[in-house]
Amino acid sequence: MARNDTLEMGELTDTAYYILLSLVEAKHGYLIMQTIEEMTDQRFSIGPASMYTTIKKLLASELIKLFEDHDPKRKTYIATEKGIDLLKKEVNRRREMVIHAEAVFNRKGEQL
Amino acid sequence: MARNDTLEMGELTDTAYYILLSLVEAKHGYLIMQTIEEMTDQRFSIGPASMYTTIKKLLASELIKLFEDHDPKRKTYIATEKGIDLLKKEVNRRREMVIHAEAVFNRKGEQL
DNA sequence: TAATGATATATCATTAAATGATACATAAAG
DNA sequence: CTTTATGTATCATTTAATGATATATCATTA
């Protein structure tokens, strides 16, 4: 968000999270969009505009890189080690967000 | 995000998530900020600007409301039923985000 | 063969979200 | 008396997300 570059801060927005997660295994742009839709049962979808702007930023931050493949028509990307590390950190951050909510509701005797 | 009001879309940004979670029990603004810092062990912090702008939006969407207390100096807020419902939905969405990541890493034989 | 839909990449202008900076006021502590 | 903590609030700016749009190829089908 504003006055703060989330990637430089070591944070992933939901969009960046799903793109990076898709790129644990090499994929080209269009396949990333499909993968995310399939993975989330259409609950989360990213259009080309969001995807390509995010890919640019992920490349610039070296969280993903171009993957060598011989197809000149499609650009294929893959997460870097730095990218995987950040992704795992961000999985954990979301886990903690769930735990924080569970703690609040448990204290009230409510379940989630 | 752009061209899309997340609250109207039924989504909570991390900032809105933590504020709403704090307001499962009635609190005034300053206490919300402290609660979030304490709850997250200073890993997540929200300044006054982010907080008051978010509170305005949560009020407008009726996800929180003013809580009747007799202190004229402090405005106290509490989550509405609508707010609690959305919060629970968003806890689940984050749970799913974790599960999606676990699925990808498990498929690679890796643990998280 | 012509048209159509799926595949594939990319940019621009716009809107929304987040926040640093700033302002102001009171109460407590030193 | 001065500083620190408490408490609320706005403005201007930056970043993030996306609808709209553009372009091109390939496979299918009418």
Per the CB < 8 Å rule, is B39 touching A100? yes
B112 assigned to some structural domain: no
A103 assigned to some structural domain: no
Please give the residue range of the domain that contains residue A62: 5-87
Number of structural domains chain A divides into: 1
CATH classification of the domain holding A23 = 1.10.10.10
A105 assigned to some structural domain: no
- Strand C, nucleotides < 7 Å from a protein CB: these are 7-23, 26
Contact B101, B95 (CB under 8 A): no
B110 assigned to some structural domain: no
B23 assigned to some structural domain: yes
For tokens 């304490």, the residue is: B38
Looking at chain A, the whole-number percentage of residues with pLDDT higher than 70 is: 97
pLDDT in tens, A58-89: 999 999 999 987 677 789 999 999 999 999 99
Contact A35, A22 (CB under 8 A): yes
A107 assigned to some structural domain: no
B106 assigned to some structural domain: no
- Cβ contacts of A56-63, under 8 Å, gap ≥ 24: A57/A7, A57/A16, A58/A7, A58/A16, A58/A19, A58/A20, A58/A83, A61/A7, A61/A8, A63/A7, A63/A20
Please report which confidence band the pLDDT of residue A103 belongs to, taking 50, 70 and 90 as the band edges.
very high
Say whether pLDDT at A4 is over 90. no
B79 assigned to some structural domain: yes
pLDDT of residue B1: 67
pLDDT in tens, A38-51: 999 999 999 999 99
**Exposed e or buried b per residue across A6-22, where buried means at least 16 C-beta atoms within 10 angstroms of its C-beta:** ebeeebbbbbbbbbbbb
Whether the model clears a pTM of 0.85, i.e. scores above it, the answer is yes
Chain B CB contacts of A94 below 8 Å: 94, 97-98
